[in-house]
């Protein structure tokens, strides 16, 4: 067993998207190879309807998959192919845009005005960029939840962990997407495929992702004492990118810790990215935007 050390950690940054939605972006645009096959993660938790109600009106996507996981409030979805639906709390929508869709995503708050959720973008390999669009709508009840002896809970959205298999299927990058809650004070190891890129995004509580196995050096109160391992304490809106290994180990703080743990096999292909369209070459990008202008984008 080898622990994946923390390669880097950062905080999600405030960003305005769509028709004026205030959200936090954990990663996106800067360095696609670091998170390959994932491109972007947006945290759109917001308790102020005026900051999200304008939503994401009609816009295109090509060459990617968008994965929307809702925790509170709902997202009404409709597209130019006639698909529509509402993503409710606990539900997930895995949309393969493939050769192209034009859709809108309109968030609605719950009774308290809260809209909480995440959208992850996964890249498609060259061979599937122009595949037919596809939706996998998963309702909360169909997402298996595993509870371990120490009280750690994991909702398995995609991929396999601890003997449970998520309902989302047929994804090229073989991703594992789990929503993990570790109780206060507990230390927990989670398996991650060695060859995958893996990251965690913390959205409740706090804790530390360990860089090595074995007993930690006790934390001393002495002034000027530096901990032997540079393991950062992470909390809400922290993004942790892991290095290679086959497990991730977390030590939960006093309030416990809850995070998304996402991993997938890197595609290692060239990325040509402009806004909602992600292709392999600049020429394919130009073609996509020309087709949008000409009205021939949808196949
Ligand atoms: Fe979209």
CA quadruple 152, 144, 142, 38: dihedral sign:
positive
Measured in Å, residue 64 CA sits from the centre of ligand 1 at 10
Measured in Å, residue 215 CA sits from the centre of ligand 1 at 45
Is the pLDDT at 9 greater than 50? The verdict is: yes
Measured in Å, residue 263 CA sits from the centre of ligand 1 at 22
Measured in Å, residue 103 CA sits from the centre of ligand 1 at 6
Measured in Å, residue 232 CA sits from the centre of ligand 1 at 33
Q: Which residues contact 192 (CB under 8 A, 6 or more apart)?
A: 4, 176, 198, 242, 245, 246, 247, 248, 261, 263
Measured in Å, residue 271 CA sits from the centre of ligand 1 at 19
Token pair of 297 as six digits = 């984008």
Angstrom distance (rounded) from CA 69 to CA 55: 16
Measured in Å, residue 249 CA sits from the centre of ligand 1 at 33
Reported as a single tens digit per residue, the pLDDT across 27-85 is 998 889 999 999 999 999 999 999 999 999 999 999 999 999 999 999 999 998 899 99
Give the pLDDT score at 232: 84
Among 45-59, 160-174, 183-197, which is the least confidently predicted range? Answer: 160-174
Q: Which of 79, 109, 86, 137 is nearest to 276 (CA)?
A: 79
pTM of the model: 0.93
Q: In what order do the strands lie in the sheet with 74-79?
A: 56-61, 101-108, 74-79, 84-87
Give the pLDDT score at 27: 97
Give the pLDDT score at 184: 98
Measured in Å, residue 179 CA sits from the centre of ligand 1 at 22
Measured in Å, residue 155 CA sits from the centre of ligand 1 at 24
Measured in Å, residue 160 CA sits from the centre of ligand 1 at 27
Measured in Å, residue 80 CA sits from the centre of ligand 1 at 12
CATH no. for 6-294: 2.60.120.10
Measured in Å, residue 40 CA sits from the centre of ligand 1 at 12
Q: Which of 40, 68, 65, 71 is nearest to 56 (CA)?
A: 68
Measured in Å, residue 192 CA sits from the centre of ligand 1 at 29
Measured in Å, residue 243 CA sits from the centre of ligand 1 at 30
Mean pLDDT of 162-189: 94
Is the pLDDT at 22 greater than 60? The verdict is: yes
Domain boundaries, the chain: 6-294
Measured in Å, residue 104 CA sits from the centre of ligand 1 at 6
Token pair of 27 as six digits = 């990663």
Mean pLDDT of 258-287: 97
Give the pLDDT score at 227: 44
Q: Helix (H) and strand (E) counts for the chain?
A: 2, 24
Measured in Å, residue 78 CA sits from the centre of ligand 1 at 10
The alpha carbon of residue 214 and the mean position of all alpha carbons in its chain are separated, in whole angstroms, by 30
């Amino acid at each position: 067993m080898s622990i994946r050390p923390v390669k880097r950690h950062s905080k999600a940054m405030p960003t305005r998207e769509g028709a004026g939605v205030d959200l936090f972006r954990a990663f996106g645009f800067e360095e696609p190879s670091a998170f390959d096959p994932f491109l972007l993660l947006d945290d759109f938790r917001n308790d102020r309807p005026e900051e999200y109600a304008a939503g994401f009106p009609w816009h295109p996507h090509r060459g990617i998959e968008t994965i929307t996981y809702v925790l509170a409030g709902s997202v009404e979805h409709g597209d130019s192919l006639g698909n529509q639906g509402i993503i409710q709390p606990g539900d997930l929508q895995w949309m393969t845009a493939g050769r192209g869709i034009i859709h809108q995503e309109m968030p609605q708050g719950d009774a308290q005005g809260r809209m909480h959720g995440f959208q992850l973008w996964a890249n498609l390999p060259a061979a599937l960029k122009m595949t037919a669009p596809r939706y996998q709508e998963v309702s909360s009840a169909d997402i298996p939840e595993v509870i371990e002896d120490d009280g750690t809970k994991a909702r398995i959205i995609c991929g396999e962990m601890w003997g449970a298999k998520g309902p989302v299927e047929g994804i090229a990058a073989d991703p594992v997407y789990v929503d993990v809650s570790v109780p206060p004070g507990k230390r927990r190891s989670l398996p991650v495929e060695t060859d995958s890129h893996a990251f965690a995004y913390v959205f409740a509580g706090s804790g530390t992702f360990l860089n090595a196995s074995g007993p930690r050096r006790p934390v001393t109160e002495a002034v000027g004492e530096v901990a032997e391992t540079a393991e950062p304490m992470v909390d809400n809106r922290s993004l942790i990118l892991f290095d290679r290994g086959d497990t991730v180990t977390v030590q939960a703080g006093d309030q416990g810790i809850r995070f998304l743990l996402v991993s997938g096999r890197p595609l290692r292909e060239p990325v040509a990215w402009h806004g909602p369209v992600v292709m392999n070459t600049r020429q394919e990008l130009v073609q996509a935007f020309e087709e949008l202008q000409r009205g021939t984008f949808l196949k």
